[in-house]
Structure 1
Amino acid sequence: MCGLCGIVRFNDPPASETLWRMTRTLAHRGPDNEGIAITGPAGLGHTRLSILDLSAAGHQPMSADDGSVTLVYNGEIYNFRELRRDLEADGVRHNGTSDTEVLLRAYLQWGVAAFERLHGMFAAAIWDARASTLHLLRDRFGIKPLFYAAIPGGIVFGSEIKAILASRLTGREMSWRAFHEYLHYGNSLGAGTFFEGIRKLEPAHHLTLTRTGTTVRAYWTPDAIAPIDDPPTVAARNVLERLDAAVRTHLVSDVPVGVFLSGGIDSSAIASLARRHTARLRTYSVGFDFDRGPDELPAARRLAERLGADHHEMRLAGSDVRAVIEQLVVAHDVPFQDSANIPLAMLCNALQGEATVVLQGDGGDEMFAGYPGYAFLARASLWRRLSRVGLLLTAPLPDGRRRDGLRRVFGYLAESDSGMRMALMRFQEHAERSPNRVFTRSTVEQLRRHDPFARYRELGRRFGRLDPLQAMLYADCAVLLPDKYLEKVDRATMAYGIESRVPFLDDDLAAYAMALPSGLKVKRGQKKWVLRQALRGIVPDEILDGPKTGFAVPVSHWLRGPLNQYLRDTLQDTAAAWPDLFDQAALDLCVDEHVAGRHDNGRLLYRLLNFGLWHRQYLL
C-alpha cells in the first residue's frame, strides 16, 4: 500500500518543493520509500509501503524505459501474474517482479484498454507524455481512495485530501451540501467532499486530462451484470470456490499477513479459509471494557483456538480513546461518524511490526445481504401493505430507540419512491428527531438549500427496475460501502502503515454474488442464506446460526462518562468560533437529555464532536 499525489499544470509546471511538501503529508501511507518525478507539465509524488518485490525495482514513480510514460500507484493488482504472462506472450520483458511494473507495461502495451483487465484494489495516476495526457483511475468498489481538484490550467490530486491542501493551490471553504449529508448519514456521499472544489474520483471511474479539458467516465457498472439463476446447491458451491480463491490471492505478500477476527460470519470465513493456505495464521481481535453490549471476543477466541492461530486480542477503555479520535480526524481530513474506526486504529497501532498486511471481512454484508432491514426488503410488497398500520400501532409506544427504530422501518417501507426509500433506510435518525434541531434558523436555512437525499434519488432512478432488495444492495455498494466502510478501513489502517485487504470484494466473487437472485441472499427471513450454506462445515454452526450483532462501539456510553466533558468543551469551542451555528439552548438540551438517559442522542452528538474537532483543525 502506498500514497500518491501530483500536479499537472499546462501553463506553469509544478515546483519540486511543492511536490515534496505534498508527498511528505502521505508518509504514514508509505514509510519505506518516497520519491517524486517531474516531466514537462506533470509532477508525480509517491510514498511506498513495500509489500511485493521489496527491492528498489518496485520504487515509484516508475517510468517506461524511454521515459515517455510515468505512473504512481497505490494498491494491489491480484491478477498481476496472469497479466504478466499475457504481456510476456506478446514479447514484453520486465525488469522486476512488482505489480506496479505490470501495470506500467500493460498500459504501454494495451493503452487504456488495460484498465478493464485489472482485478484488485487500486488508485493510479499515469502521465503519458506522448499525448500530454493524465489518467486517474480507481478500482471498482473504491477500496483505495483518490481525490482531485481543478486548478487554473490543470489539476491537483492525492490519495488523501491533506496532500491537495499541502499544494496551497485550493481553498478551504466548507461544503454545506457535504455537511447536510453528514448530519443525516455520518459521511458525505458521492463525488463531493467537505471542501468545496475538492472531489473524490468515484469507484470504477477513469478521469482523463488533456490540454483541451477533463472527462470522467465509468469504466465498469453493476448494471451490466447478467443475472444468474444457479440452483441453490450450485450457487453455494460456486460462492465457496470463489471466496476460497479470493482469500488465497489476497494472502500473496512478501511481508507478514494477519486476519482481523471479530467472531462474525465474514471475518470467521476469511480466517477459516486462510488457514488452508498458510502455515502460520495470525489473528487479531478487539473488545471493550463495557459489559452491556455484545462481546464478540469469546467467539473469536474459540475460533482462533480451533484453527490453531497465533491469536492476539486487546480490550479498550473509554479513557483510551480521546487521543485516537483526534488522530482519526486528521487521518480522514473530514468529519467522520463511524466510531468503528477507533478500535480498528488502536488495533493497527498495537500490531505495528507484527503484520504489515491484514485481511478483513468488509464487503460480505453488501454482497450477500447481511444488514438489518434487508429481510424486510425481501418481502417489501407484503410489508408495504402493513406499513401504514404499523405506523399507527407504534405511535403510542414510549419514546426511545425501539419506537424510533420500528417507526423508521415502517416509514421507509411506506415510501413509494424507491430512491427516498433507500435514503430513509440509511438515514440513521428518525425524522421526528431531526439533526437540524440543534442549529440556528440561519444555519437550517443554509442546510435546506441542499437536498441530502439527492444521491439516493439518483440511484432510485438508476436501479428502479430491480426488486427492492437488489436495488438496495446496489445502492449500498455505490454509497455506504465506499463512502463509509471502505473509507474507514483505509484511513484507520493506513494511518499506521498497515495494508488492509478485503477478499469479499474480489472482482470475480463480487460479480458472481451481485448476479445471484435476492431469493438466495435472504431466504425464509434469514440473511446471507447462500453464504451460510457455502460455509457449512468450514465455519462453526454457532457462528453461522447466531444473530448478527454488529461491531458495537459504546460511544453513547463514553459520551455520558469519560468523554462527556471533552464533548462539552469541544462544542463550546465550536460555538465560540462560529456563533451563528448552534441554537445553544437546543444543543444544551440535546446533551442533557443524553447524559440523563432520557433519549439516546449519542449518534448526533458524536457527529457534532467530530465536526467540531475538524472545524478547529482545518478551518480555523
Structure 2
Amino acid sequence: MCGILGLVSKDPIDRGRAHAALDLIAHRGPDGDNSWHDSDANIWFGHRRLSIIDLSHAGDQPMHSADGRFVLIFNGEIYNYVELRNELIAAGVTFQSASDSEVIIEGYRAWGVGVLTKLNGMFALALYDRGQRMMLCARDRHAEKPFLYTMGDRFFAFGSEYKALLALPGVPHDHDELRVVTETCQPGSSADRQRQTVFTAIEQLLPGEAMVVNCATLERKTWRYFDIDLTRQRSFADPKDAMAEFRDLFVDSVRIRMRSDVEVGSCLSGGLDSSAIVGAVRHLLGPDAVYHTFTGRFPGTPADEWHFAEMVVNASGVVSHIVEPTVDRFIADLPSFMWHNELPVGSSSQFAQWCVFRLAKEHNVTVLLDGQGADELMGGYEQYFAFYIRSLKARGETARLARELPEIERRYPAAQMDRAMRMKSAVPQRLRHALAHMLNRGSDIRFGLKPGYSEAVSEHTARQDLGSGDPLRDALYEDSFERFLTTLLRYGDRNSMAHSREVRLPFCDHRLSEFVLSLPPELIMGNVQTKRPIREGLREFLPEAIATRWNKQGFRPPQDLWFTSPGFLELMQDTLTSSSFRQSEIWDQKWWLKVLDRIRAGDLGLGWNLWQPFIHEMWKQHFLKPATQGIEPKRLAA
C-alpha cells in the first residue's frame, strides 16, 4: 500500500517540484521514499512505500525488471500473487524479490495487458516499457485505489491524491462548485462515478479501466478490461447449493486477503458484514491464534452497537480495542481530517472510521479487514426491496410476492416510498422551496440553496436501465460500480491512508461480485431478508442474534446529539456567519441561520441537514485553500 506520483513531459522535469508534490502524500507510505528519473525520455516516477509484502529493500519502488526494460510504481496489493508467481516460475521466470509488485512486471512480460484480468487485488499502477516508450496505467475492478491524472499540452501526470497533482506546475486549481455541492447533498451522485472529477483539470480512471500512454507523443487510449455480464443468470435446484458456493468464495477471499508480512486485524462494528469476516478469520486461523479487532463505540446513545460487537468478541476470542469518536475529538481533528479526505464527506460516520484506523495505528496493526461492499452487492438496505419487488413482478413471481410482501412491509417499513412521500415528490421543487421559506419549515437540503440551484441539484439521480431485465440486479451493479460504493471506497482509502493503514475488503472480490450478480433475486433478498447469502451461507460464522438482526444501522456517531455541544454550536455559528459563507453563490445563508435556530430550539434531527453546508465550507477552508496555496499538511495538523 503506497502513494504514487508520475510525470511524462516533452520538456525537462523539475525534480524538486515533483518531489515536493510527492511529499504531500508521505502519509500513504512512511516506510520508503524513492524516485526514478529518465532525463532522456523526460519521465519521473515517485513512490512512498508502506511495506506489507517483502519488507526488504528488494520490494522497494520504483521497481525495475532485471533486464532494465520495465519500471513499475504501484499502489495496492495483489492478493493472488502467490499463485501467479508459481505459475510464472513454472514457465521459467526467475524472481529477484518475494513481492507482489514484481509479479505484475513479469506477468506483463508474459501476458501483456492480459495480466490485468489475472490480478485479484486492489491497485493503481503505472508500468513503463522503456523499449516501446509506452506506459500502461490501470485501476482495480472496484476502484478501491485511486488513479487520478491530468494532462496539458506538453505533459501527462498521475497520482494517488488530488493534493499532489494540484501542487505540480501547470495544473490549474479550478473546480466545479455545483458538482461539489451536488455531491455534498447527495453522496455518490457525481464525484466518483464520472471520469471528470470536480477539479476541472483532473480526471480519473473508472473501476476496471486501463490506459496506454505513448510517452513520446502523449497520446492515450483508455478501455475497460473488466465488466460483468448482467444477462448471465445461474439457476440452482436447491438454494443451499448457491449458499455453499458463496461461502467457499467468501472464505477464499478472506484467506488471500490475510497474506501479509505485517500484522493483520479487523474493523468490527457489530454488524452482519464485519462480524462474518471476523468469524471466517477465526475459522481460518484456528482457535488459539491472537487476532485484534477495532471498534468505535458511542456509549449511552442509540448509535452504540457494542452489544452486538461484544457477542462477536466473546464468540471468536479476539483481542478487542475500542475508541469513542466524540464531538470534541472531531473539532480538534477537523483540519487534518478535511485535508486528508480532499472532498466533503457525507456524515460524521467518516470521522468514526478515521478514529478506528487511528486506533489500529496506536496498536501497531498495519492491515485491517473491513466489511465495505456487502450492502451494495447484496441489498443491505431496506430500500432495495422496492427493486426486489419489481424484479419479482417482471419474472411473474406472483405467489412469492403474495407470500412475502406483507412481511416485507411489516419487517422493513421504509422499504417502499409511502403515499405521502410520493405526493411530496410530485410537487414542483420551485413551489416546495417557496413554501418552505415562507413558513420557515421543511428539512430538504435543497431549501438551503439559492433559487435556480435548488432545481439544478436533483433530488435523485436517475437510475439506468442496464439491460439485464432484472431491476434489482441493475440497482446492485450500479451502486457497486458507479454510485455509492465508489464514494465509500474513496472515504476508506483516504481515512486509512491518513494513518498509514491498509484496509482490505473481502466483499470486493470480483469473484463474489460476478457470482452474486448472476443469482436470481430470491437468492439475494428472498425470504424477506437483506443480504441472504451472508445470513444463510455464512451462518456458521455468526452469532444467532446477528444473523437474524433485521435492522440496518450505519456506523456513525450520534451526530444529532453533537448539536447539544456548546463548542460545536459555536463552530457552526462561526461557519455560517463567515464572510466566505455569506458570499456563497449557492448556499442561502439566511435559511441556514434559521435552521441553526431551530436546532437550538430542540429540533436536533436537522443537524443531519446542516452538516452539508458546514462540511462544504470546512472543505473550502481546510483543503481547497491550503491545496491551492501549496501549504503542507503538517502545518494544518499542528
TM-score normalised to structure 2 length: 0.85
Preserved CA contact (<8 Å) 2:277 2:370: yes
Is the partner of 2:382 in helix, strand or coil?
A: coil
Q: 1:223 to 1:565 in 2, by over 3 A?
A: farther
The answer as to 2:257 corresponding to 1:250 is yes
The answer as to 2:227 corresponding to 1:221 is yes
Partner of 1:156: 157
Preserved CA contact (<8 Å) 2:35 2:46: yes
Q: 1:223 to 1:344 in 2, by over 3 A?
A: same
Alignment partner of 1:236 out of 240, 243, 256: 243
The answer as to 2:308 corresponding to 1:299 is yes
Partner of 1:391: none
Q: 1:99 to 1:293 in 2, by over 3 A?
A: same
Partner of 2:281: 274
The answer as to 2:373 corresponding to 1:363 is yes
Partner of 1:139: 140
Tell me how far apart the structure 1 counterparts of residues 12 and 459 of structure 2 sit (CA, whole Å): 39
Structure 2 gaps of 5+ residues are 395-412, 428-440, 626-638
Is the partner of 2:19 in helix, strand or coil?
A: helix
The answer as to 2:14 corresponding to 1:4 is no
Structure 2 residue identity aligned to 1:47:
R
**Comparing 484-493 with 97-106, which one deviates more in the overlay?**
484-493
Tell me how far apart the structure 2 counterparts of residues 408 and 24 of structure 1 sit (CA, whole Å): 53
The answer as to 2:31 corresponding to 1:32 is yes
Matches within 5 A, 1:99-110: 99-110=100-111
Identity %: 29
The answer as to 2:476 corresponding to 1:467 is no
Partner of 2:334: 325
Tell me how far apart the structure 2 counterparts of residues 439 and 362 of structure 1 sit (CA, whole Å): 32
Is the partner of 2:348 in helix, strand or coil?
A: coil
Partner of 2:56: 55
Alignment partner of 2:588 out of 577, 583, 591: 583
Tell me how far apart the structure 2 counterparts of residues 14 and 411 of structure 1 sit (CA, whole Å): 60
Partner of 1:112: 113
The answer as to 2:342 corresponding to 1:339 is no
Q: CA deviation at 1:517?
A: 1.5
Preserved CA contact (<8 Å) 1:134 1:208: yes
Structure 1 residue identity aligned to 2:602:
G
Q: 1:526 to 1:588 in 2, by over 3 A?
A: same
| 1:100-122 deviation per Cα after TM superposition (whole angstroms, max 9, x unaligned) | 01111111222111111111111
Partner of 2:490: 487
When the two chains are superposed, the root-mean-square deviation of aligned CA atoms in Å is: 2.8
Q: CA deviation at 1:203?
A: 0.9
Matches within 5 A, 1:124-523: 124-186=125-187, 188-190=191-193, 191-210=195-214, 211=217, 213-223=219-229, 226-230=232-236, 231-278=238-285, 279-289=289-299, 291-352=300-361, 353-380=363-390, 406=418, 410=422, 433-441=443-451, 444-445=452-453, 456-457=461-462, 460-461=464-465, 463-523=466-526
Is the partner of 1:38 in helix, strand or coil?
A: strand
Is the partner of 1:208 in helix, strand or coil?
A: strand
Tell me how far apart the structure 2 counterparts of residues 116 and 276 of structure 1 sit (CA, whole Å): 29
The answer as to 2:560 corresponding to 1:556 is yes
Preserved CA contact (<8 Å) 1:178 1:192: no
| 1:23-72 deviation per Cα after TM superposition (whole angstroms, max 9, x unaligned) | 11111111000111112222111101100100000000011223222110
**Comparing 605-614 with 43-52, which one deviates more in the overlay?**
605-614
Structure 1 residue identity aligned to 2:384:
Y
Structure 2 residue identity aligned to 1:504:
F
The answer as to 2:52 corresponding to 1:46 is no
Is the partner of 1:493 in helix, strand or coil?
A: helix
Preserved CA contact (<8 Å) 1:148 1:200: yes
| 1:136-180 deviation per Cα after TM superposition (whole angstroms, max 9, x unaligned) | 211000111111111222311111111101213212112134224
Is the partner of 1:563 in helix, strand or coil?
A: helix
Q: CA deviation at 1:603?
A: 2.8
The answer as to 2:608 corresponding to 1:603 is yes
Partner of 2:571: 566
Q: CA deviation at 1:17?
A: 0.9
Tell me how far apart the structure 1 counterparts of residues 420 and 244 of structure 2 sit (CA, whole Å): 37
Tell me how far apart the structure 1 counterparts of residues 416 and 612 of structure 2 sit (CA, whole Å): 19
Q: CA deviation at 1:571?
A: 2.6
Partner of 2:398: none
Q: CA deviation at 1:575?
A: 3.4
Is the partner of 1:316 in helix, strand or coil?
A: coil
Tell me how far apart the structure 1 counterparts of residues 507 and 416 of structure 2 sit (CA, whole Å): 32
Q: CA deviation at 1:293?
A: 1.6
| 1:268-317 deviation per Cα after TM superposition (whole angstroms, max 9, x unaligned) | 1100110122322211111114x342321122122112211111112232
Q: CA deviation at 1:579?
A: 4.9
Structure 2 residue identity aligned to 1:606:
W
Is the partner of 1:349 in helix, strand or coil?
A: helix
Preserved CA contact (<8 Å) 1:263 1:300: yes
Q: CA deviation at 1:98?
A: 0.2
Q: 1:256 to 1:409 in 2, by over 3 A?
A: farther
Structure 2 residue identity aligned to 1:471:
D
Structure 1 gaps of 5+ residues are 385-400, 416-430
Preserved CA contact (<8 Å) 1:376 1:383: no
Q: CA deviation at 1:85?
A: 1.6
Preserved CA contact (<8 Å) 1:559 1:567: no
Preserved CA contact (<8 Å) 2:142 2:486: no
Is the partner of 2:469 in helix, strand or coil?
A: coil
Preserved CA contact (<8 Å) 1:193 1:199: yes
TM-score normalised to structure 1 length: 0.87
Q: How many residues are paired up?
A: 580
